[in-house]
């Protein structure tokens, strides 16, 4: 069996790293096709090196752009490679434009498609990620659902049960495997002058938050209140988009909020693991906080990770006064919840099901 692993963003590299390692372990015939959806080839070369992964066989270097333009470029590029280097199955992960392009290109060439992390739903069609994940699920042959919830969503949409396999989420494998690498290579807490459980970690990057001045101002106001009450620094690795919009809206970081350059994944893993509380609008970070045993407050009106809310590791706060209320609730939490995403064998189970 020949496998093509199609990815394009750093979260995909992270969540596919256990799959890549399992392919290596099994001695499978496989290759990595990197669309370059967000980052330059050179920046991602370092990323693969840090995670001790083989470099991609193919790089499209598509870059960012409007959804249609970007997806179209990837679709054309992936199709050419699949025609030249034909696999038996194409694996995609998550909900990016890369996922949609990879699944669509393979499907039209009658190549089997496996969707890793299938069945996630926010039920908000305003999010482009929701459209991507729904379309990818409905043209995939193998749907690797992380939880029973995800499986049920797929069944409710009429997808046959025999296509669905519950594997757990590869993010658990990735956290366990890559945290070990991080501990060998870096000590980011020392770099930022903070101690274990002596800071809050925050990220905001979603358009619904950073492209709206009132929402962004409300979030920054909440950061100021949190610091004032708990007297702990807010470490804020800021996405370039967020920094740009803060400048456009003439907004500044409040006292106690330390805006830092985006950090590498291994450094970020350590920041997650050492935080007292995580405040974010990231989907993947909700999962990772749950796995690390760190309480999470989500700055959104909904989540496609309801399992984190159900087990008590996460609360969906929205914005405004709700943020402070949610922080006060979650900071008292004992980290005794059961991780709903599996025990770190999702990569192994996925390849086993595929074989």
pLDDT tens readout for residues 212-224: 999 999 999 999 9
Alpha-carbon separation of residue 68 from 65, 147, 200, 299, 354 (angstroms): 8, 31, 37, 28, 31
- The answer on 256 and 118 residing in a single domain is no
Catalytic residues: 205
- The answer on 161 and 34 residing in a single domain is yes
DSSP result, 12-61: HHHHHHHHHHHHHHHT-EEEEEE--SSS-HHHHHHHHHHTT-PPPSEE--
Confidence band for 236, pLDDT divided at 50, 70 and 90: very high
pLDDT tens readout for residues 94-124: 999 999 999 999 999 999 999 999 999 989 9
The CATH number given to whatever domain includes residue 235 is 3.40.50.2000
When divided into structural domains, the chain yields a total of 2
Per-residue confidence (pLDDT) for residue 10, from 0 to 100: 87
Question: Residue 211: inside a domain, yes or no?
Answer: yes
Where helices occur in 231-345 by DSSP H, the ranges are: 240-248, 265-274, 283-292, 306-311, 321-330
User: At residue 287, does pLDDT exceed 80?
Assistant: yes
Query: Which tokens sit at 88?
Result: 């038996």
Question: Residue 343: inside a domain, yes or no?
Answer: no
Question: Residue 346: inside a domain, yes or no?
Answer: no
Question: Residue 337: inside a domain, yes or no?
Answer: no
pLDDT tens readout for residues 289-304: 999 999 999 999 999 8
Q: Which domain holds residue 63?
A: 2-166
- The answer on 292 and 231 residing in a single domain is yes
- The answer on 264 and 117 residing in a single domain is no
pLDDT tens readout for residues 158-192: 999 999 999 999 999 999 999 999 988 888 999 99
User: At residue 42, does pLDDT exceed 90?
Assistant: no
Q: Are 137 and 157 in contact (CB under 8 A)?
A: yes
Alpha carbon distance 174, 287 (integer Å):
11
- The answer on 277 and 204 residing in a single domain is yes
User: At residue 40, does pLDDT exceed 80?
Assistant: no
- The answer on 208 and 111 residing in a single domain is no
The residue among 135, 166, 197 that closes a domain is 166
Question: Residue 223: inside a domain, yes or no?
Answer: yes
Whole-prediction pTM value? 0.85
pLDDT tens readout for residues 124-133: 998 899 999 9
- The answer on 197 and 145 residing in a single domain is no
Question: Residue 335: inside a domain, yes or no?
Answer: no
Query: Which tokens sit at 81?
Result: 């490679």
- The answer on 115 and 247 residing in a single domain is no
């Amino acid at each position: 069996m020949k496998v093509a692993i199609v990815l394009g963003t750093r979260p995909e590299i992270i969540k596919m790293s256990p799959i890549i390692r399992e392919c290596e372990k099994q001695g499978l015939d496989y290759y990595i096709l990197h669309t370059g959806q967000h980052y330059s080839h050179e920046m991602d070369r370092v990323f693969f090196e840090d995670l001790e992964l083989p470099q991609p066989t193919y790089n499209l270097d598509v870059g960012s752009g409007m959804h249609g333009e970007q997806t179209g470029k990837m679709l054309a590029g992936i199709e050419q490679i699949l025609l030249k280097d034909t696999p038996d199955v194409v694996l995609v992960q998550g909900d990016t434009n890369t996922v949609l392009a990879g699944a669509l290109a393979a499907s039209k060439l009658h190549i089997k498609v496996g969707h890793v992390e299938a069945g996630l739903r926010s039920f908000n069609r305003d999010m482009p990620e929701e459209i991507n994940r729904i379309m990818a699920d409905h043209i995939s042959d193998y749907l690797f659902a992380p939880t029973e919830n995800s499986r049920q969503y797929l069944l409710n949409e009429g997808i046959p049960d025999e296509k669905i396999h519950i594997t757990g989420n590869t993010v658990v494998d990735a956290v366990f495997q890559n945290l070990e690498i991080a501990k060998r290579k870096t000590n980011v807490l020392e770099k930022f002058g903070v101690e274990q459980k002596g800071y809050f970690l925050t990220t905001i990057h979603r358009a619904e938050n950073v492209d709206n001045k009132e929402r962004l101002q409300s979030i920054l106001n909440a950061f100021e209140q949190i610091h004032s009450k708990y007297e702990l620094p807010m470490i804020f690795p800021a996405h370039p988009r967020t920094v740009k919009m803060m400048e456009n809206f003439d907004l500044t970081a409040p006292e106690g909020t330390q805006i830092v350059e985006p950090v590498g994944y291994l450094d970020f893993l350590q920041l997650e693991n050492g935080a007292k509380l995580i405040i974010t609008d990231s989907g993947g970070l909700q999962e990772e906080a749950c796995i690390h045993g760190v309480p999470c407050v989500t700055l959104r009106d909904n989540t496609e990770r309801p399992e984190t809310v159900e087990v008590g590791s996460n609360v969906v706060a929205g914005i405004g006064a709700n943020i402070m209320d949610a922080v006060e609730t979650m900071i008292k939490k004992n980290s005794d919840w059961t991780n709903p995403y599996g025990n770190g064998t999702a990569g192994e189970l996925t390849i086993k099901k595929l074989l």
